[in-house]
Structure 1
């Protein structure tokens, strides 16, 4: 579906073709606080939102976690594996001629934050609450900046990653977590403890 540049029509239909069935409902009455102080958004996020306002709803909302049913777990595995297999790694410099640009990989190419945006969109289009799907900036095992998708569930926080076909708990990644979106407002970013600045990406994969 994403075999060459310009073949982006599949993006809007991906969740439907995938057969994702959303059976993970938001936990009723559960409120989860942000884990740190507000911090600066990653380079590229503000520009992405300006170009894609539908992907960046503004204003506060009720934080929600997913009830991690067997169906929901299978859907996470399918989305993570499908995007990893169908989007080809390419740096922003190779792709766009700039150091950093966030974009949905509708032409089949992207770097780590583009994989994250695709996975997030597919899950939201399938009915998952965006409050449980948090774009997260980390330092990988080589100390380089990297972006992943954190999925907040009633059984813990799990990571969708273009460097791993499996979905694993956050503390099994070996990463240092820098910042992520607030559950209460996707345009507010909160610090996760590591104060050393890190770009969203350092390589395509």
Structure 2
């Protein structure tokens, strides 16, 4: 299937996605934030080395209005980055265990998230609605995704798949995400869907 056909099929499902996100959920469509959190070490070092990326503060004007146009941009950026960046670990790229950076053809999960965030800001999304988020995978490994806050709920852009889903529909355990008012600030997430034994990056 061509990229155009994939995007058209995803956009055609727009109405269904909105309908589903409007249905009452056992878990809210938007994450619950319960206080401040320490940034992941990779995020701290990224901000230290790239202060212009993190020294801005934003006014939180609320989640973006999810229209057909904004949904199309979300799907397009997620697919574009997933299909052009080759997954590779920081150890293989930089020789270190953890390094956050914009990908140059290769990258790992947080690099994908950084690139998607940058591209969505370029097409008009507010930085306060584009939040890099740290999660646990079902196997207990740490992972990073991009959360897009919308009036229909928090949607997840993931380098492991092209489908964009509500956070509550994923199998991840949510730990923390960037603050809506500062790229350098981080907030702890209340994920009440399951009990997790142990966690990372807290």
Give distance in 1, aligned partners of 2:181 and 2:138. 29
- Compared CA separation, residues 54 and 127, structure 1 to 2 (3 A): farther
The residue number in structure 1 matching 2:200 is 198
Report the structure, 1 or 2, having the larger helix content: 2
| 1:150-189 equivalences in 2 (<5 Å) | 150-189=147-186
| Partner secondary structure for residue 150 of structure 1 | strand
**TM-score scaled to structure 2, two decimals?**
0.77
Q: Which moved more, 1:56-65 or 1:34-43?
A: 56-65
Match of 2:91 among 79, 93, 102: 93
- Compared CA separation, residues 143 and 55, structure 1 to 2 (3 A): same
Match of 2:78 among 62, 66, 80: 80
| 1:48-127 equivalences in 2 (<5 Å) | 48-59=46-57, 61-105=59-103, 107-127=104-124
Give distance in 1, aligned partners of 2:112 and 2:201. 16
**TM-score scaled to structure 1, two decimals?**
0.76
Q: How many pairs does the alignment contain?
A: 168
Aligned-pair CA distance for 1:177: 0.2
Give distance in 1, aligned partners of 2:57 and 2:86. 34
What's the Cα RMSD here? 2.1
Give distance in 2, aligned partners of 1:199 and 1:147. 11
* Structure 1: segments with no counterpart, 5+ residues: 1-31, 201-205
Give distance in 2, aligned partners of 1:57 and 1:129. 15
Give distance in 1, aligned partners of 2:131 and 2:60. 14
| Partner secondary structure for residue 183 of structure 1 | coil
